[in-house]
Structure 1
């Protein structure tokens, strides 16, 4: 009687010949490719974050709507408070929206603080194309 083994040694898997297709030899490792992809990914993320930072503003430039009044079919008056670095200047985007959420007017409002001043109170009359429901300040960014 001959001896048979129920298990195969863990050194190499044994597949029945002719099944599962042709086996390939392990490929060469390319560490430079991994490094190149990582560098490219970091570069793209850096560009995207810089663009988002420019688009949505610097945290040193903040705006807060105090009130919006004098709403008619053609205008809204927006009172807002702006915080800038001492003596700094900013450009704030003020917009009006109608009852259905559509933008019915917008304007870029330049504001400048006196030397040493950080907080400004601003009143802006915004012309609209239809009756607005509200006035808002979407962002402030450093003046160019």
Structure 2
């Protein structure tokens, strides 16, 4: 009695012709398309990182909240310190939030350093639309 083998010697399956559509050749790749997609991704990430740096990342203009006091339903008094280049000016964005985290006040404040001064301490009364829980400085950037 002889043995019959149901499979052929190759590892690829054999399908009846015209039954399952057109088969792709294995290993066919498009290196140009992959390279173009990689370049586009790197460019998009570069644009996003540049935008975020311009908005949040300038270390020359740094702010820190010292304290926030006199909290009422209409205001909060924010004391903060800004580091700017000597004699420079900065525009800082102040925000007040309520206990739930909702924004109840937002203002832009211009801070000017005297000649030879790098650190400016400022007190600003921030108007609010409800009772604030916290006063904070979001960011500072060069004044135009």
Q: TM-score, normalised by structure 2?
A: 0.78
Deviations 1:86-134 (A, max 9, x none): 3322111111122222211111011122233221101101111222222
Instruction: Tell me the equivalent position of 2:59.
Output: 59
The CA deviation string for residues 27-85 of structure 1, in whole angstroms up to 9 with x for no partner, is 75432212211111111111111221223241222111111122222111110011123
| Alpha-carbon separation, structure 1, partners of 2:16 and 2:101 | 69
Q: What is the CA–CA distance in structure 1 between the aligned matches of 2:68 and 2:24, rounded to whole Å?
A: 72
Query: SS where residue 126 of structure 1 aligns?
Result: strand
Give the equivalent residue in structure 2 for 1:113: 113
CA RMSD of aligned residues (A): 2.8
Q: Is the 8 A contact 1:57 1:140 kept in 2?
A: no
* Structure 2: gaps spanning 5 or more residues: none
Residues of 2 paired with 1:112 and 1:77: CA distance?
19
Match of residue 48 from structure 2: 48
Aligned runs of 1:1-144 on 2, under 5 Å? 13=12, 15=14, 21=20, 24=23, 26=25, 28-144=28-144
User: Structure 1 runs of 4+ off > 6 angstroms?
Assistant: 1-5
Q: Could you say if the C-alpha distance between residues 127 and 23 of structure 1 is closer, same or farther in structure 2, counting changes exceeding 3 Å?
A: closer
Tell me, which stretches of 5 or more residues in structure 1 are unaligned?
Answer: none
Q: 1:21 to 1:67 in 2, by over 3 A?
A: same
